[in-house]
Amino acid sequence: MLQLDVGAIKKAPGDFGPFNLSAELPPFELRGEYLGFLGPVKASLIVSNVDSALVVEGEVSGGLKLNCGRCLEPYDYFFHVPFKETYAQAAQDSEGEVVTFSGDILDIAPEVLNSIILSLPMKALCSEDCRGLCPRCGCNLNESRCDCSDDETDPRLSVLKKLLKGTNQ
């Protein structure tokens, strides 16, 4: 779990301290697909008590199994993203873009997940020059060659291809 014990720091205005976490996060759903992590997600953070709120800032890194939008094969995607979020105690008046919390434990998993999702490519590709699938026979052109010609497309397969593409958008 990505949780910070902020019991001490929240009582000390102006104070700050480092937090290094490593946690397993469950798979999550994105645009109809379930994406799983390759291992623990790591977070290197500094928590500062500023103006009676807690500013959590640092970096989050890890890996995800994504499906290539062209050849549809799963591949390993690694991320290293900046993280910054302001947390205010629930009882206090807070203005602007802050997340509220109560007690001594700050669970930052929702915001960490959000920053990972925002960093994902619009179209996942296993490699920039992935050749994708043959529109006629459906074979993976990265792994094999087929005898299909490019200019003759079987209309039934092109419908299938569109459907397959649609699920990966």
Nearer CB in complex with Zn ion: 11/123: 123
Contact between 164 and Zn ion (CB under 5 A)? no
Give dist(CA 70, CA 124) in Å, integer: 8
- Binding footprint of Zn ion, residue count (CB under 5 A): 10
State the Cα–Cα distance between residues 27 and 69, nearest whole angstrom.
19
- Quick check: 66 binds Zn ion (CB under 5 A)? no
Closer to Zn ion at the Cβ: 14 or 155?
155
- Among 15-23, 31-39, 114-122, 148-156, the segment contacting Zn ion (CB under 5 A): 148-156
Q: Which of 71, 106, 112, 116 binds Zn ion (CB under 5 A)?
A: 71
Taking the alpha carbons at both ends of the chain, their separation in whole angstroms is 30
User: Can you tell me which of 68, 106, 108, 116 binds Zn ion, judged by CB under 5 A?
Assistant: 68
Tell me which stretch binds Zn ion (CB under 5 A): 5-13, 43-51, 68-76, 90-98.
68-76
Binding piece for Zn ion, criterion CB under 5 A, among 19-27, 46-54, 92-100, 147-155: 147-155
Rounded to whole angstroms, the Cα distance separating 26 from 91 reads 30
Window of 4-12, 20-28, 40-48, 141-149 that interacts with Zn ion by CB under 5 A = 141-149
Nearest to 134 by CA among 160, 167, 105: 160
Residue pair 69/125 in contact by the 8 Å Cβ criterion: yes
Please report, for residues 19, 74, 96, 155, the alpha-carbon distance to residue 9 in angstroms, rounded to integers and kept in the order given: 12, 42, 22, 64
Structure tokens at 101: 């919390």
In the list 148, 157, 160, 168, the residue contacting Zn ion (rule: CB under 5 A) is 148
